[in-house]
Chains A and B, each alone.
Chain A
């Protein structure tokens, strides 16, 4: 049974009623009916969550603990899929690529995003124009982003060709076609696409900093860069953590970018978990391995989100 909505009428209205007890009961019942409409309105959302999100999630996690191959098998088999997964060379590459790409992408995106926010915070003229230029990549899909950077980094038409056309004819910049370096090229595109987001979030934070702090720092003769590094950014630590979490989750979820830019190649040298799962699920039809890999992705996201939510809730309740 649902609890009726507590009646908290505004004082003048409440005192207007001759019999408050009766009135409250009546209103309470009427509220009860309306409360049902609210509950009914939530049914689609709850059903979608129960089946499409949580039901599906548990299904995938369970399948990863069976011997499923082409078709789902429901007999429990422990961690056999994971043992096999981590013995698969392609997964080893994809999984370690997530950390290589993630580490560089997070540092680059956060560093550049925060730097841009600080630059625009120095009350520059034409801020609107700069902002427009720095943020437009966010509106472009990862597919178009990936293709564009693929063209720029392509040895035959991109940067290598440009430098050679200046006369430096044995210049080499073919990272995107080399197995050892292909994964690093994703970082360029990742930073280009995401640092605007960090800039927007951090700039909003910087603008919210108390002007008194700036005045005090100026009176003390502390240079602006020092004020940012030692006072303002530490004050905005919760916001930086939020940015960190956002970029880290985007790294775990990366899929379109690698598909458009290198398609995981050469071979599977620039593969990422997101692509591994889709390929094993829909091309190789190996549900067991795909589910195990997807569960590792889920675990990675939870490892990022759980401490963050805990930290956020603790901070708000303090």
Chain B
């Protein structure tokens, strides 16, 4: 082999070694948590979390799901799971619909001030939650939905609106104008064009938006903590309460199982829809 070939081979080996180390750094936290969740309580007490379970068992998963205690209630993380599902479904449907309609109205229709509306929406996407949290609490109290399921759903729709609208708007301006024009000439109105022309072309962007909102709302902590009320605490809030309770011995195997159960829905979405997920996350990166 020539020197150049040798150098090339060394370079490629170095490249793959480096990538492999990086992948290890990124996967260790997940592997450690998985390993710990299958350990017995005795093992957790004696070894570091980096060891593999001697005899893997799912006792801690069952305990985390059905019996783990947060405060005085011992119903397991499933309480939070179902609360999160109840919050998630209406929030996603409403915020994606609101974003689609707003984005559509801002793209193929000439509305006075559309550019200003878009700039203002864009700025909204950057505002930290903390800046408007307290006024939103007061507003929700005034209409008596603070601390209820409706209250948390409303807040998710509000915070989803800027990014959703801009996401759809940017997609819709890319659609050929002729389609909408042809429908207009055929006498179709705003809503008819939306339902018959625009929506059938929106499948991809609807998937992206739904995935973005689903993972975002499932992973939310702050809004759930403040707005959901005691009876609707989402899974993330319950998980944090469960894991940071300092009474008695900390059951790391149960806590890791609860953390995995909480992380599982977005992880599954990610593994099964990678491309859409990445598109959404890069488009909606300003959110939070």
Closest-CB distance, B180 to chain A (whole angstroms): 11
Cα distance, A204 to B285, chains bound together (Å) = 15
**A124 and B263 form a contact (CB under 8 A):** no
- Answer whether A148 and B29 are a contact pair too, CB < 8 Å, given A44-B98, A130-B19, A301-B126: yes
Cα distance, A42 to B168, chains bound together (Å) = 14
Q: List residues of A (18-72) whose CB comes within 8 Å of B's CBs.
A: 31, 33-35, 37-39, 41-42, 44-46, 48-49, 51-57, 59-60
**B128 and A305 form a contact (CB under 8 A):** no
**A157 and B252 form a contact (CB under 8 A):** yes
**Residues on the B chain within 8 Å of A161, using CB:** 47-49
Contact of A141 among B18, B218, B274 (CB under 8 A): B218
**A305 and B123 form a contact (CB under 8 A):** yes
Q: List residues of A (258-298) whose CB comes within 8 Å of B's CBs.
A: 259-260, 263, 273-274, 277-278, 281-282, 287, 290-291, 293-295, 297-298
**Residues on the A chain within 8 Å of B134, using CB:** 60, 281, 287, 290-291, 294
**A6 and B110 form a contact (CB under 8 A):** yes
Contact of A35 among B15, B33, B109 (CB under 8 A): B109
Which among B144-152, B184-192, B201-209 touches the partner chain? B184-192
Cα distance, A10 to B176, chains bound together (Å) = 13
**Residues on the A chain within 8 Å of B139, using CB:** 51-52, 56
Residue of A nearest to B103 (CB): A45
**Residues on the A chain within 8 Å of B49, using CB:** 151-152, 157-158, 161-162
**Residues on the B chain within 8 Å of A136, using CB:** 26, 30, 267, 270-271
Band of interface residues on A: 35 or more
**B132 and A46 form a contact (CB under 8 A):** no
- The A interface is mostly helix, strand or loop, or mixed, namely helix
Counting CB contacts under 8 A, is B133 at the interface? yes
Interface centre among A34, A132, A137, A259, by most B CB within 10 Å? Answer: A34
Binary contact readout B108-143 vs A (1 if CB under 8 angstroms, 0 otherwise):
011110000100111110111111111110010000
Counting CB contacts under 8 A, is B244 at the interface? yes
Residue of A nearest to B262 (CB): A144
Contact of B23 among A6, A133, A140 (CB under 8 A): A133
**A34 and B48 form a contact (CB under 8 A):** no
**B278 and A45 form a contact (CB under 8 A):** no
Counting CB contacts under 8 A, is A240 at the interface? no
Closest-CB distance, A104 to chain B (whole angstroms): 16
Closest-CB distance, A317 to chain B (whole angstroms): 13
Extra inter-chain contacts (10) besides given A60-B131, A249-B286, CB under 8 Å = A131-B274, A152-B49, A157-B48, A162-B48, A197-B281, A197-B282, A246-B285, A253-B129, A256-B236, A294-B128
* Sampled A-B contacts (18; CB under 8 Å): A13-B185, A41-B101, A42-B105, A53-B162, A56-B139, A130-B23, A135-B278, A136-B271, A139-B267, A141-B218, A151-B252, A161-B49, A165-B48, A192-B26, A294-B131, A298-B128, A301-B126, A301-B128
List the interface of chain B (C-beta within 8 A of A). Answer: 15-16, 18-19, 22-23, 25-30, 32-33, 36, 44, 47-50, 98, 101-102, 104-106, 109-112, 117, 120-124, 126-136, 139, 158, 161-162, 165, 178, 181, 184-185, 189-191, 215, 218-222, 226, 236, 239-240, 243-244, 252, 255-256, 259, 262-263, 266-267, 269-271, 274, 277-278, 281-282, 285-286, 288
